[in-house]
Amino acid sequence: MECFIEQISAPNWNYDALVLGWSLSTFPDQYDIFHTSQMEKGLNFVWYSNPEADKLMEEAKQILDQDEYKAAYADIYKMLAEDQPYTFLYYPNVHRVMPVNLEGYVFHAKDDFYEISKWWLKK
């Protein structure tokens, strides 16, 4: 088997469109994706910058209560929807059906086959 490894440099960000996907935790923090400080070396690939959104994301990082966090992020999501740094194409809505004799299954929000090695069918 032959293999060629080519070292690549960081992108020059010279593009008109970008298609990508990601999944968020169940307690999402958009700071890394949308905060201005994350443009050059972070995950803010579209160079989105909104000082008001930055301030709200910084404040949200201090919130531990999920209801308060959800309320704070409602304002952030509204700004993101209005500014549209990304065109969000879809969000999958998945329904899982499992046999009644499936044992060892543990629901995981981002992985349909989480710990599949521990699944088994009861006789």
Instruction: Check pLDDT > 80 for residue 91.
Output: no
Report which DSSP code applies to 66.
Answer: H
Q: What is the pLDDT of residue 111?
A: 79
Prediction pTM value: 0.65
Predicted pLDDT at 45? 86
Predicted confidence (pLDDT) at residue 10 exceeds the cutoff of 70: no
Give the H/E segment covering residue 91.
none
Rounded CA gap, 26 and 103, in Å? 24
Q: Are 114 and 108 in contact (CB under 8 A)?
A: yes
Mean pLDDT of all residues in 16-42: 83
Render pLDDT for 49-66 as a digit per residue (tens, 0 to 9). 999 999 999 999 999 999
> Rounded distance, CA 53 to CA 76, Å?
6
